[in-house]
Amino acid sequence: MEANRTDTMSKDKQDAHISFCQAPSTYHENRDRNAVSDSLMATYKRLPVTFVRGEGAWLWDTDGKRYLDALSGIAVCGLGHAHAGVARALCEQAGTLIHTSNLYGIGHQRVLADTLARASGMERVFFANSGAEANEAAIKIARLHGHRKGIDQPAIVVMDNSFHGRTLATLSATGNRKVQAGFEPLVKGFVRVPFGDLETLRAVAENTTGIVAVLVEPVQGEGGVNIPAPDYLNQIREICDERGWLLMLDEIQTGMGRSGRLFAHQYNGIAPDVMTLAKGLGNGVPIGACLARGEAARTLGPGNHGSTFGGNPLACRAGLAVMEALEQEQLVPRSEKLGRRLLDGFRARLGEHSGIIDIRGLGLMIGIELERPCGELVARAMAAGLLINVTADRVIRLLPPLILDDTQADLLVTNLCGLIEEFLSPVSAP
Q: Which residues bind ligand PLP (CB under 6 A)?
A: 74, 130-132, 135, 163-165, 217, 221-222, 250, 252-253, 278
User: Minimum distance between the CB of residue 190 and ligand PLP, rounded to whole angstroms?
Assistant: 14
Active site residue 346: no
Q: Least Å distance between CB 202 and ligand PLP?
A: 24
C-beta of 251 vs 273, nearer to ligand PLP: 251
Q: Which is nearer to ligand PLP, 130 or 335 (CB)?
A: 130
User: Is 163 annotated as catalytic?
Assistant: yes
CB 391 to ligand PLP: min, Å:
10
Residue of minimal Cβ distance to ligand PLP = 131
The one catalytic residue among 61, 69, 250, 273: 250
How many C-alpha atoms does 247 have within 13 Å on its Cβ side?
22
Positive or negative, the Cα torsion across 289, 292, 296, 297?
Answer: positive
Residue 138 or 419 with smaller CB distance to ligand PLP = 138
Nearer to ligand PLP, 224 or 313 (CB): 224
At 308, the amino acid letter reads T
Shorter beta-carbon distance to ligand PLP: residue 172 or 408: 172
Minimum Å gap between C-beta 132 and ligand PLP is 3
List the catalytic residue out of 190, 263, 279, 423.
279
Residues 6+ apart with CB under 8 A from 309: 99, 129, 286, 315
Min dist. Cβ of residue 167 to ligand PLP (A): 8
Residue number with CB closer to ligand PLP (278 or 318): 278
Selecting among 163, 190, 346, 423, the annotated active-site residue is 163
Tell me whether residue 250 is one of the annotated catalytic residues: yes
Provide, rounded to whole angstroms, the least separation between the CB of residue 276 and ligand PLP.
7
Which residues are part of the catalytic machinery?
163, 250, 279
